[in-house]
Copies of this chain bind each other. A is one copy, B any other.
C-alpha cells in the first residue's frame, strides 16, 4: 500500500528550474515512489491525475504551488515532506561565476553598457513588463516567455518599431545573431544565408540542415509564432527582411512561418520581392503558389528550404528589376474550372483582396458572380451560369459580354482568359475573342491568355496563338507561367517607412542581459558572448495582492 500526501504554497514565485529540482530531489529520497511539483493550473492538475498523483480534495488556485509525494510508507512520506523547504532553498549553483549579480535591468545595463540585447524568460505574466523596460533602455528584446497576451505583443512591437528595435517573440525559441545562439540554437557555421523564422524548431531544423550541407548562417532572426497574424501585421518579420536585405553578408534569405493571414502574406511577399535577394519561402502547410515567382522560391518542407537556400547561394542571383504596377485590378474570366482554381491558388499569395465564385477559402467568396470586385477570378463554366447555355469552351458569348463589362470598370488593369482548344471546344475561339481583346487592349488594359492545346488539335494551335497575340494579348501555355507574370506585374505594396533597425550595431559582437532561465545566460557566456544575468524576482515575491498594494503605494 502506498501513501500520498500534499502541500500547498500559496501565491509564491519559484522559477521552473527550482520546481524541477525539487521534484527530482523528492523522487530521490528513500521510500519515495513518485512526486509532482506543479503550479496548480487545470492542465497541471490533470497531468498529476494522469500520473495518479492528484490528491482527492485539494483547493489550490493556478498561482499556488502544489507539491505531492507518493511513498511506500508513512515514514518516507513524512521525511520527504519535511525536506521540502531545504530542497527549495538549495539552488543549483551556476557553472559560470559572476561576482556581482544585479537585481534589476537598469543595474545590469550599468554593469554591461554595451549590451544590445535583453533575453527574457520570466513567467508570461511578468514578461511584457520586463520587455517594456528593456525597450525603454534602448535594447533589442529576445522574448522566450510564452503566455504573453496578444495586446502586449502588439504594443511592444509597435513601441520597438518606432525606436528601430527588434522584439523577437513572445514564445520565440530560437535566434542566431552574429554567430551567437539565443535560446535554443544549434552550433552552425557562419555564412551567407539569413533566416527569418516565426517558428523556433523550424529555424533550428533549417539552420542545422544549412550547416550539414556545408553552408552557413549570417543571422537567424526569430519573430514569435503570432507575428504573421493580421493583428500583429508581421512587424518583426518586416524589420528582419529589411535588415537582411541591407546586410552585405546575407546573399540568400529563408523565410519560415506557419501560414500567415492572407493580407499579411501578400504584404510580406511584396517585402520579400523588394529585398532584391533570392528569398526561399516556406509557409508551413500552405500550398505553394508556384515554385518560383521572380526572386521568390517556394518550398514544401524544412529540408527543402535548406536545400534550395544552399543551392541559391552558389547561383548568380536572378533579380527581377521589373517593378510592380500600381494596384490596378485583375479580372480572370475562365472557361475551365480547374484552370480558374489553379490561377487563384497561385495569385492569392500576391494579390489581395481577391474574390471568386470558385474560392479556395470562404473569405474569397464573391458576393455576386455577375459583379467583380477588387481582384476577381470567375469560372464561367460553373453550374450557376450553365442552365440552358452552352459551355463557355463552345460559346464565347457570355465571356465576350463580360470582358466588355470589365473593361468599362476604371479600376481594371488586366484581364486574364483561358483558351482551351481540342475536341469538343469551339473550332475557332480566336475569331470570337480577338476582336474584343483588341477593344480591351486599346483601352490600355493588359490581356493575358493561357492557351491549352497541342499541335495536333483541330483548331491549329499556332494560328490561334498568332491571332490572339496580334490582337494584343500576352500568351502563356501554362497557368503557372501566367501566375508568375501576373504576380510580378500586379503584386506588391508600399514599403514601410518606419525607422530601420541599425545594421551596424547588429553586426557588432553580441552582448546581452539575461532575465529568467539561468541556463540561457550560461549558454551565452560559453559561446563567448558578453553577458550579465539579472537576479530577477517578481514584484512582492510573486504575491499578486501584495504587488497590487505596492503598485498603489508608489502612485
Contacts and interface: CB of A to CB of B under 8 A. Distances in A.
B186 A453 contact: yes
B186 A422 contact: yes
A315 to B, nearest CB: 20
Contacts of A458: 187, 526
A86 to B, nearest CB: 20
Contact of A212 (B398, B477, B480): B477
A302 B480 contact: yes
A284 B341 contact: yes
A474 to B, nearest CB: 17
Contacts of A541: none
A46 B527 contact: no
Given A212-B454, A452-B186, A478-B209, A47 B338 contact: no
Contact of A300 (B146, B300, B452): B300
A388 B424 contact: no
B387 A336 contact: no
A421 interface: yes
A527 B458 CA distance: 10
A146 B339 contact: no
A201 B337 contact: yes
Contact of A422 (B47, B171, B184, B526): B184
Contact of A285 (B65, B336, B360): B360
Contact of A383 (B171, B185, B286, B291): B171
A389 B19 contact: yes
A330 interface: no
A424 B453 CA distance: 57
A44 interface: yes
A401 B181 contact: no
Contact of A388 (B50, B123, B452, B520): B123
Interface string A162-186: 0000000001010000000101111
A225 interface: yes
A383 B226 CA distance: 13
Contacts of A120: none
Contacts of A418: 201
Interface stretch (A35-43, A105-113, A270-278): A35-43
Given A16-B390, A187-B458, A287 B290 contact: no
Contacts of A200: 336-338
Contacts of A335: 201
A423 B211 CA distance: 15
Contacts of A397: 20, 23
Q: How large is the interface on A (under 10, 10 to 19, 20 to 34, 35 or more residues)?
A: 35 or more
A111 B401 CA distance: 43
Contacts of A453: 186, 208
A345 interface: yes
A479 interface: yes
A187 B285 contact: no
A259 to B, nearest CB: 9
A240 interface: no
A204 interface: yes
A481 B303 CA distance: 9
Contacts of A507: none
B420 A457 contact: no
A485 interface: no
A60 interface: no
B16 A388 contact: yes
A199 interface: yes
Nearest to A301: B480
A6 interface: no
Contact of A421 (B186, B342, B398, B452): B186
Contacts of A454: 186-188, 208, 211-212
A230 interface: no
A523 interface: yes
A436 interface: no
Contacts of A181: 422-424
A78 interface: no
Residue of A256, A298, A384, A424 contacting most chain B CB atoms (<10 Å): A424
Given A181-B423, A185-B424, A303-B479, 8 more contacts: A19-B389, A183-B423, A186-B421, A200-B336, A200-B338, A288-B300, A291-B300, A302-B480
22 contacts: A20-B397, A43-B370, A46-B368, A47-B370, A47-B398, A50-B405, A65-B388, A123-B388, A173-B381, A184-B425, A187-B457, A208-B453, A211-B456, A284-B338, A285-B287, A288-B300, A298-B300, A302-B338, A302-B478, A303-B478, A424-B519, A458-B526
